[in-house]
Structure 1
Amino acid sequence: MLRENSIQEENVPAEKFPPIETQADLFYALPELHYPSSLNAAVELVDRHVEAGRGENVAIYFEDKSITYRDLQMRVNRLGNALQRLGVEPGERVFVRFPNRPEYAVSILAVQKIGAIPVPSMKLLQAKECTYVIEDSGATVALVDDRLLEPVEAANETFNSLQTIIVADREGSTHDYHDYDDFCSAASSQLDAAPTCRDDLSMLAYTSGTTGRPKGTIHTHRQMLAIIDGYARYCLEPTADDIFTGNPPIAFTFGYGVLVAFPLRFGASTVIIENAEPLDLIEIIDDYGVTVLGSIPTAYNQMLNEHADEIEAADLSSLRLGISAGEPLSPSTFERVKSSFGIELLDGLGSTEMLHIFVSHRIGDDIDPSVTGYPVPGYECMVIDPDTGEELDYGEAGLLAVRGSTGVTYWGRPEKQEMAVRDGWSLPGDVFVRTENDQLEYKSRRDDLIISSGYNIPGPEVESVLQERDEVYETAVVGSPDDERGTVVKAFVVLADGCEPSNELTSLLQDHVKSQIAPYKYPRCIEFVSELPKTETGKIRRNLLRERELEAQ
């Protein structure tokens, strides 16, 4: 199904594709998703606007520069031609490693335009992780920022698979590789797109590896556009007048959607910020008149907790909505953002495997912040018993099953593929309850469900209640081994400025939880810590906390 009419048969190893019988059933229920068989995502995101006479509209703002759609097209074409001159062919994998900069967007689009497959890399990956991704993907070329070069060199010394490394000198590093700027400037700015088909691969994205080694997930040109013409079009209602920004890494599929794919599809603009801190987002909204902000709950909380004065002083009136994803959004954060920013956050459930968000409210909905929302148009969801696969009734917690225009398809991981798809439905690994009005209420990741004395306790539910207290800056809740109960609920708490750990505070937080949800869910242990372990995308690494508790036991 993924390889139908593919031009990539020669360069994509057949064993990297899961057997047809273990793949998710994909369907395209929306009329916007009925794409022609010949399709190239880069052409749709860039060239189409230039051909329609919108070439002088701004596509990307970066630092003090404005990059028009015509400028962007020329940059994409030059890099694409240069890669072709090197001999990069359709289906080859190209490792891409930059901080959030225009070069990231240009590189991914150029690789897609020539029919090759970009492999985005998180900037914090070290040599061992880079080695794994480069080896597993079979990448032959790397496009790298000079500040992120060292782990790539170390990886290549170990595996020696990269035929070419191209380095963007942004700090004047000394090296013997191709120079990105010279490499591009010597190439033509005219480029015909490769004759890609809609089901050819357009991205090989790796998960963050919070539960083991990263897993490669494959996505097609059709799927790359489907997340825009489904989720973005129906839930965000973008126009060419919108200006997007945020701080998720572009290497993260959530970041790629919000900062690159969504704005470019609708002829809008994006403000890309390198190494954006929460305060930077406030200033950028004020300076550029940003209309759509995308980030994770942790960053929203940091803005609220650390920069209340700056929020009050800034002009944030241009904002019309915010997107939150990556981790659970608590009702208290939703209400505080609404009060301080004057916007409602659309909480979204998505994953690298599914490419982007597939459960969300839509702009204009009467949003209930205690639930995630509805299946995104083009998807359908059900809550099933994880053992039998039977659909559960309203109010019963179970495993979420999803199908639609994207699905879980792992690259060379057949054992994971079999676990992630059941009867054609993708199983992202989330525990949900379906409410009587058919909304989906998030409970936890399957791994975050704590079983204590026979009770099922979703860790994020306890976190959300703790987060209501002003004393709590952020928190993570996991199960800790216990001889009597098997497992007890334990909360790791980072306190707000001015608060000190004490037995009295521990009791206060425990009593608050007991007063808000079933008493058996309260954290019997609370440990005050200075920080929580996180991934590069800002997700709390609860698996490390669980491992620490097991080792301590």
Structure 2
Amino acid sequence: MAEDLYEQLHAAFRWQVPEDFNIAEACCGRWARGTPKATAIYFDSESGCRAAYSYAQLQRAANRLSNALLNQGVRRGHRVAIVLPQRFETAVAHIAIQQIGAVAMPLSMLFGAEALEYRLQDSGAVLAIVACEALPALREVKARCQALRRVLVVGDSPVAGDELPWMEALQAEEARFKPVATKAGDPAILIYTSGTTGNPKGALIPQRALLGNLTGFVASQNWFGFDPFDAGKPTDAVFWSPADWAWTGGLMDALLPTLYFGRPIVAWQGRFSAAKAFELMASYGVTHAFLFPTALKAMMKAHPLKDGRPKRHALKLRALMSAGEAVGDAVFAWCRDALGVPVNEMFGQTEMNYVVGNCQALWPARPGSMGRAYPGHRVAVIDDAGRECAPGEVGEVAVHARDRHGEPDPVFFLGYWNNEAATTAKFTGAPGDSWCRTGDLARQDADGTLWYEGRADDVFKSAGYRIGPGEIENCLLKHPAVANAAVVPKPDAERGALVKAYVVLAEGHAGDAALVTLLQDHVKARLAPYEYPKEIEFIEALPMTTTGKVQRRVLRLRELERAA
């Protein structure tokens, strides 16, 4: 059991945010000068292409791209879209854009034409750096994105019109560049939220937000190998996450913080599978990882516990973080027993990321909990009026714009792009001096431990009982026939709603009436009588966001349409 150093860390912690700060210098420039031969990126792909790139190589490529961007008319404050998978060029793009004071706008490779068009139009992006695989969708909408003047194409694809091959653009430029100076509060990244309620909103992230992420990152990785006082010293720490670098989890929880500490990160360009996850972690000696719950569930089902840890792979894992959905005690126990490391759950949002979580090395974790506020962040559960709830009372998780010492918390976004009304609605008062709502429900113990109750729009009532889907889904997942599950309300005239479960079957199991009864009995034996799913529907795959979260909203709408 870890010694509980939580209160000691919190009381002693003070933010030290310099007036001038730039992500490119912090994540690459200083390492290119200090440890130029150190590996920054290990690249691996489904095609079999593998490479290792040093910090010096990353800096030289970024310098060439910065010069190219300036020659294409990109200036300070301009938005530059990045539609790339995990690969070396993605890291180059982020460093280069920050060096000229422009704003990086990462976009998922999974986005179709409509999703790309909305974000490109709304942001007014002037240039896009696009993988050839995403080029058809971008070409379909480019004519309607009036601000978009040039497209840099990464990969082997014929170019047309105002498109320019990546290699040609970089080879024409010098490998020397003098970065601009930026303030810590200057805009750096524009990330669009998933848009589960209405159109996606662009969260404008300042340079300093990376610093605001670091206490959570270091704590969730158990401090070892990412100690701020150890930065620059030799270490065998290697980071990997399948999280897409186009969203907050992949960019702010994996790529940028790993580079900030001068460590190497594995870039895997390919589809996720449990087998590939074990293979990558073994072959690259991964010591620290971020694996979202859907990934861990797939790995658990592929390698159920038999004699302890999986024997096919010699893993070096020292820390594991998970976020996006509640892990649940079944997955928690598997990580501890099969992978050899208890998972540190983390909670955050694009607008204020990495604010709550666990750190097994420095304070005891309670399995199934969200954890406690990380050092430097003030977190509470509030009611509809913005008042802090009593311990054990369910309310909305909120983060205060000032820490416990009254100092501004650097983790916060600057606001929603061209949407002042949405920014104002996010806070209970003045944006710089009040609670910021998350839309997630939880209850808080007296010691600050948070227990997730679900999204505010995921919780429903059935026959007067308040139903949170997470506990039921976690219970279903413990049955060997279940690979994944999502619980939603089914409209019912008598009860208001019935508990309905959508279940993805594990390999080798058939979805029949007998299994429905078995699963219902399984839940009845473990949870309250009103929580068992009155109806179970077997489904090939659950609808997911590009960030790996289950889209219960899609399933709820399906039930509403059927009822109508």
TM-score (norm. length: structure 2): 0.89
Which residue matches 2:396?
399
Tell me how far 1:35 sits from its aligned partner: 2.4
The 5-angstrom pairing of residues 246-261 of structure 1 reads 246-261=241-256
Judge conservation of contact 2:219–2:358 (CA < 8 Å) in 1: no
Q: Which 10-residue stretch deviates more, 183-192 or 513-522?
A: 513-522
Aligned-partner residue type, residue 111 of structure 1: I
Judge conservation of contact 1:114–1:193 (CA < 8 Å) in 2: yes
The 5-angstrom pairing of residues 95-114 of structure 1 reads 95-114=81-100
Partners of 2:211 and 2:12 in 1: how far apart?
12
Judge conservation of contact 2:189–2:204 (CA < 8 Å) in 1: yes
Percent of residue pairs bearing the same amino acid type:
33
Aligned-partner residue type, residue 19 of structure 2: S
Distance 1:377 1:309, change over 3 A: closer
The 5-angstrom pairing of residues 286-297 of structure 1 reads 286-297=282-293
Which residue matches 1:21?
none
Which residue matches 2:23?
41
Local SS of the residue matching 2:136: helix
Which residue matches 2:440?
430
| Aligned residue pair count | 521
Aligned-partner residue type, residue 160 of structure 2: H
Aligned-partner residue type, residue 295 of structure 2: A
Aligned-partner residue type, residue 402 of structure 1: V
Tell me how far 1:419 sits from its aligned partner: 2.7
The 5-angstrom pairing of residues 225-264 of structure 1 reads 225-228=211-214, 230-236=215-221, 237=223, 238-239=225-226, 240-264=235-259
Partners of 2:127 and 2:116 in 1: how far apart?
13
Partners of 1:143 and 1:33 in 2: how far apart?
35
Which residue matches 1:181?
167
Tell me how far 1:32 sits from its aligned partner: 6.6
Partners of 1:40 and 1:331 in 2: how far apart?
40
Partners of 1:502 and 1:152 in 2: how far apart?
43
Judge conservation of contact 1:375–1:381 (CA < 8 Å) in 2: yes
Tell me how far 1:487 sits from its aligned partner: 1.5
TM-score (norm. length: structure 1): 0.90
Higher relative contact order (CA 8 A, sep 6+): 1
| Aligned equivalent of 1:124, options 88, 98, 110 | 110
Judge conservation of contact 1:244–1:258 (CA < 8 Å) in 2: no
Partners of 1:174 and 1:337 in 2: how far apart?
46
Aligned-partner residue type, residue 220 of structure 1: P
Matching of residue 146 in structure 1 with residue 132 in structure 2:
yes
Judge conservation of contact 1:245–1:258 (CA < 8 Å) in 2: no
Which residue matches 1:547?
557
Matching of residue 198 in structure 1 with residue 184 in structure 2:
yes
Aligned-partner residue type, residue 491 of structure 1: A
The 5-angstrom pairing of residues 106-505 of structure 1 reads 106-168=92-154, 170-176=155-161, 177-228=163-214, 230-236=215-221, 237=223, 238-239=225-226, 240-278=235-273, 279-307=275-303, 312-354=310-352, 356-364=353-361, 365-386=363-384, 388-403=385-400, 404-407=409-412, 409-423=415-429, 424-505=434-515
Question: What are the superposed Cα offsets for residues 393-416 of structure 1, whole Å, 9 maximum, x if unpaired?
Answer: 111111111124323521122332
Tell me how far 1:56 sits from its aligned partner: 0.7
Question: What are the superposed Cα offsets for residues 331-379 of structure 1, whole Å, 9 maximum, x if unpaired?
Answer: 101111222111111111122222x321100131322112110011111
Local SS of the residue matching 1:448: coil
Judge conservation of contact 2:286–2:315 (CA < 8 Å) in 1: no
Local SS of the residue matching 1:545: helix
Tell me how far 1:174 sits from its aligned partner: 4.3
| Aligned equivalent of 2:67, options 66, 70, 81 | 81
> RMSD of the TM alignment (CA)?
1.9
Judge conservation of contact 2:13–2:376 (CA < 8 Å) in 1: no
Q: Which 10-residue stretch deviates more, 232-241 or 132-141?
A: 232-241
Partners of 2:524 and 2:410 in 1: how far apart?
42
Q: Which 10-residue stretch deviates more, 210-219 or 307-316?
A: 307-316
